Structure 1
Amino acid sequence: MKRVKELRGMMMEADPSVAVSMRKMVMVSLMEVFKDIAPTYRIRPLTHAEKSTKVKKETQQLREFEESLVSQYKFYLEDLEQTIKDWKQKKRKRSQVVSFQSYRSLAEVSVRCLCELLLTMPHFNFHNNIIVTLVPLMNDPLKTVSDMCCDAFRKLFQEDRVGGASLATVRVISGLIKSLNYSVRPEEVEMKKDLEATATKKKFMTNKEKKKNLSRMQRKWKKAEEKLEKELLEAEASESKERKTKLHTETLNIIFLIYFRILKKAQKSVLLPVVLEGLANFAHLINLEFFDDLLNVLQNLIQSGNLTNRESLHCIQTVFTILSGQGQIVLLCL
């Protein structure tokens, strides 16, 4: 970790002839180092009681390593974020050796590193900090930056099997759209099938073939091991399914909240066509309590005459989807 600290210090290179290239190489190098040495779990801070308890030498060494790792990773993320801020604010900090144009290229490398960490280390510390930094950049005027961020979040949504990272992202997006008064650029998101379902399956030895190579005692232990593993997987799957359902439900609620805000408060927004298309695709997931208000808003939109033919069709499709599902209950009550 001392070497990591020394390497991070090289991001402050002041020699004008090598400053830009040196900083870029250090940014990328540190990104790869952290990807390699970070554990597959989030490191939590120790409690006062844990710090005062005597532990084995190996345990203490591990604690010191983890504490130093989190510290250096935090400083590294702050360096990347500060580089982006300096570029956005047109500041020339950290000496005058780097021009504003060079800061732009440094900022692009910083964004690229953060996008990579967003996708490869969603389990590790400060992942939400990365999300908070990158989400506003999806709306950045510089196309190379906005494209990098949009592509990274599309991939995150596709690869997030649990839903925690997606929920955190949607929360930040919701806040950003509201703070900018719905003045953000709409980006197309392709609906892709689950890649895992179509992935080519590798051939493995069958259980019967494996058992042929085992002794009687080994087969007995193997059978007991498989039974235990099956029970553990069933318990884990039940808990995982419940957690995923909760996260996905909350994510959907925030997405629909964004949709309804735009429908009611920002009907002139460039986001309206995307919202109507989203509603047409996901209307069957909307809670029953929102149906009455939503139908009224859609009716007013169609009657306003301000929609294109495609947008009007999305409104009609949404209405039919609602009324063909849970919406039948609404009709029966009228």
Structure 2
Amino acid sequence: MAAERVSKRRRLSPPDGGKGTVPGFAQWDIEQDYEQRSRKGKKDKGEKLLVRTAEGWKENQRLKEAEQNAANEDADSFLASGGEDDDSGVADVEPKTAQKSQLPPKELIRQAKEDLARIASHVSEDPEENIAQLGQLAQLAQSDNLTVKKLALGTQLAVYKDIIPGYRIRPQSKEDMQAKVSKEVRKLRDYEQTLLSGYKEYVQMLSKLAGDSQMGGIAIACATALLTSVPHFNCRNDLISLVVRKLSTRSLSADARKCAEALEQLFHDDEEGHASLEAVGQLTRMMKGKNFQINESVLNTFLHLRLLSEFTHKASTNHIDKDDAQDAQPRKKLTKKDREHRTKRERKVMKERKQVAKELQEADAVVSYEERDKNQAETLKLVFVAYFRILKARVQHLMGAVLEGLAKYSHLINQDFFGDVLEVLKDLISEAEASLQPDDEDDDGDEVDIDAAAERNVTRESLLCIITAFALLQGQHDVAKSANTLHLDLNFFITHLYRTLLPLALNPDIELSAKSAHLLDPNGLATPTAKDTKVNVATTTVLLLRSLHSVLLPPTATKSVPPVRIAAFVKQLMSASLHLPQKSTIAVLGLLREVTKTHAGKIAGLWNTEERRGDGVFDATGAAVESSNPFAATVWEGELLRLHFDPRVREAVLGVQQNVIIKAEGR
């Protein structure tokens, strides 16, 4: 028995002291754990300790205050970052946010930065495990401190841009929640739904703060960043609505200009067309609701749509004409001899492969060309509806943007719609001319006409109408084929352009754009309009050259330009060059150099008195181009321009004359 007791003691107390043979609980530091354990008896004794006073025995107030101060000192961190156990769950924020009012603002901001950095790093490193910490970011965004609130919104923006997947998340229905799925699928669904709910709350907060004077700037910056970086994700419609609401005023602020730039980038980067269709739909509804009292920069965003380079069909406000070239050719029906023989099993396998390929295409989010064309067709109809409503309502401050847009999308307008468009353009030019006439019946008519002309800028409007009219004709690829059925009379626009050449030459603001008068505010500082897009900001000289190039150098049917028209415009432009500023004179002579290079044989007689073809006198102020008798005159203005003080003008004149001499010698 003694030997057995000795052996038993040796097993319990091994001489080597190794940990491998000792049970786990023997390795615990039981004494240390017992020492750090709270003493309930001491707590009860402290609570029941009484002090004798004149009124009797009462509780010890000093001991009670000391315990409260000790508890307050333990909560020394904003949101109590805690240890490792707090990383995977949502912290109990409510009791600890009560301490932030006791901290100085600098300390509060410093601790908020630390907490935001910690939470953002945890969520970005492992989103599936730490997705619940998005709630802490949302709680920080509710802070009363504006700096902390802005930091929280910016942090949420960075986190969501980092963890948002490349697909839309479908909200779960009741059937999906009750369905039996594997553990991995359930975990993924919980992660996606938590992410989606947090993102929705964040977007709703941005929408609420967008109208705030202090937080509006940061809210709009976050919303535009989300719209341009993750336009495929959920809540896109809410973000577009936020941006469109900011653009519904006549004068745009700095935040509104950010929204306009965000829409331009969205239109430029959109490949499928879904986001563009939603944005254009909301913009057109907003314009109609505001009676088109908006800034023209909002309308100019339409010019950044990808319709100009991708869409090929013709459209109007109510239908789309698609190319029937492929449909016109009947499909060749295969006979039994031409068909490849397949067994029933092979046909079944091929059908399954087609189904799998279709599912893979949808999973890879490959852009469907048919769906993209459908979205772009609907977008184009909405754009045309907006343009023609503005033309019908005669919204004067938007005429330049509308005409520029029609000129850009002229190759997409249905030919059946040409007649109505040209009639509207003629009416605009007629109204512009009528607005320049003084009203003798109204005493205040002169003042009203001056203000209306200043706001409307009828000269630029007329030139834009002419450019749009010729762009409608030149933008069609099938005009030459349908010349017998399509009759477009553009003589009205040609005559109007001819009559405005001399008055434009005497215009002192011909080298100023529509935005030049607004480049300085009343304080003398440059405004943001100086760096706007190049839409409707071209100088009057540039618009004039575009119009003349369309009339004298059309891209198609060059030989059809009558010699009388070319000679009349050349003579008129040479006379106008004597009065134009230096840069405009060089530009006009450059255009005449191209004209003489192409049509020198038709107008060579203007430079040689011995080859005069007409009798009578040249009428420079005639009402019609053909009746001005240009071949009865000579281009004597070239001799004066050869003595111009600018050597570039002298060189340009010599270039024009050299083309005529070379053409004459070639004959």
TM-score (norm 2): 0.39
Measure, in 2, the Cα distance between the counterparts of 1:83 and 1:237: 34
Query: Does 2:379 align with 1:251?
Result: yes
**Structure 2 residue 447 is matched with structure 1 residue 321:** no
Match of 2:262 in 1: 152
Q: What corresponds to 1:54 in structure 2?
A: 180
Higher relative contact order (CA 8 A, sep 6+): 1
* Alpha-carbon separation, structure 2, partners of 1:193 and 1:84: 26
* Runs of at least 5 residues in structure 2 that lack an aligned partner in the other structure: 1-130, 307-356, 436-456, 488-667
Of the three residues 11, 27, 34, the one matched with 2:141 is: 11
Match of 2:296, SS? coil
Distance 1:287 1:49 in 2: 48
Query: 2:271, 2:367 within 8 Å by CA — same for their partners in 1?
Result: no
2:412 aligned with 1:285? yes
- Give CA deviations for 1:221-271 in whole Å, capped at 9, x if unaligned: xxxxxxxx9xx88xx899622222111121111111100000002x13311
SS of the aligned residue for 1:291 comes to helix
Which residue of 425, 428, 432 corresponds with 1:298? 425
Q: Pick from 272, 275, 290: which aligns with 1:180? A: 290
Distance in 1 separating the partners of 2:460 and 2:132: 60
Cα distance between partner residues in 2 of 1:257 and 1:331: 29
Instruction: State the secondary structure of the residue aligned to 2:485.
Output: helix
**1:49 shift after superposition:** 2.9
Aligned residues: 276
Question: Partner of 1:197 in structure 2?
Answer: none
Per the alignment, residue 215 of structure 1 pairs with none
Q: CA deviation at 1:327?
A: 6.3
Q: 1:164 maps to what in 2?
A: 274
> Partner letter of residue 254 of structure 1?
L
Closer/same/farther in 2, CA of residues 273 and 192 from structure 1, 3 Å limit? closer
Residue matched to 1:90: none
Structure 2 Cα separation of the partners of residues 296 and 70 of structure 1: 52
1:136 aligns with 2:237: no
Choose which of 429, 442, 461 in structure 2 pairs with 1:311.
461
Cα offset for 1:333? Answer: 6.1
- 1:332 paired residue number: 485
Q: Deviations over 1:162-201 (max 9, x none)?
A: 221111111111011111111001115697899xxxxxxx
2:159 maps to amino acid: V
Map of 1:199 onto structure 2:
none
Q: Cα gap change, 1:296/1:237 in structure 2, threshold over 3 Å: closer, same or farther? A: farther
Q: Which residue of 2 aligns with 1:20?
A: 146
Cα distance in structure 1, aligned partners of 2:367 and 2:234 = 23
Q: Does 1:122 align with 2:235?
A: no
Q: Distance in 2 between matches of 1:190 and 1:167?
A: 11
TM-score by length of 1: 0.75
The equivalent of 1:261 in structure 2 is: 389
Distance in 2 between residues matched to 1:46 and 1:237, nearest whole Å: 21
Residue type at the aligned position of 1:332 = T
Residues 45-104 of structure 1: CA distance to partner in whole angstroms, max 9, x if unpaired?
Answer: 22333322210011111111111111111111111111123x2xxxxxxxxxxxxxxxx2
* Deviation of 1:294 (Å): 1.5
CA contact (8 A) 1:84 1:111 kept: yes
Q: Equivalent pairs: percent with the same residue? A: 33
CA drift at 1:10: 1.4
Amino acid at match of 2:425: L
Contact preservation (8 Å) 1:118, 1:131: yes
On the 8 A contact 2:247/2:294 being kept in 1, the answer is no
Q: Is the 8 A contact 2:268 2:305 kept in 1?
A: no
| 1:301 partner SS | helix
Q: Which moved more, 1:152-161 or 1:122-131?
A: 152-161
Bigger shift: residues 23-32 or 315-324 = 315-324
Partner of 1:75: 201
AA of the residue aligned to 1:84: A
Inter-CA distance 178–111: structure 2 relative to 1 (3 Å threshold):
same
Q: Tell me: CA distance 1:160–1:177, structure 2 relative to 1, closer, same or farther (3 Å).
A: same
1:264-319 per-residue CA deviation (whole Å, 9 max, x = no partner) reads: 02x13311110011111211211233222222211111111256233222222222
- Name the amino acid aligned to 2:134: V
Alignment correspondent of 1:221: none
**Aligned-pair distance for 1:23?**
0.4
Residue of structure 2 in register with 1:272 after alignment: 399
Q: How much does 1:12 deviate?
A: 1.6
Determine the C-alpha separation between the residues in 1 that align with 2:383 and 2:273: 14
Equivalent AA in structure 2 for residue 255 of structure 1: V
Contact 2:248 / 2:286 at 8 angstroms: preserved in 1?
A: no
Give the counterpart letter for 1:292 in structure 2. G
* Residue 40 (structure 1) aligns with: 166
- Structure 2 residue identity aligned to 1:114: A
State the secondary structure of the residue aligned to 1:77.
Answer: helix
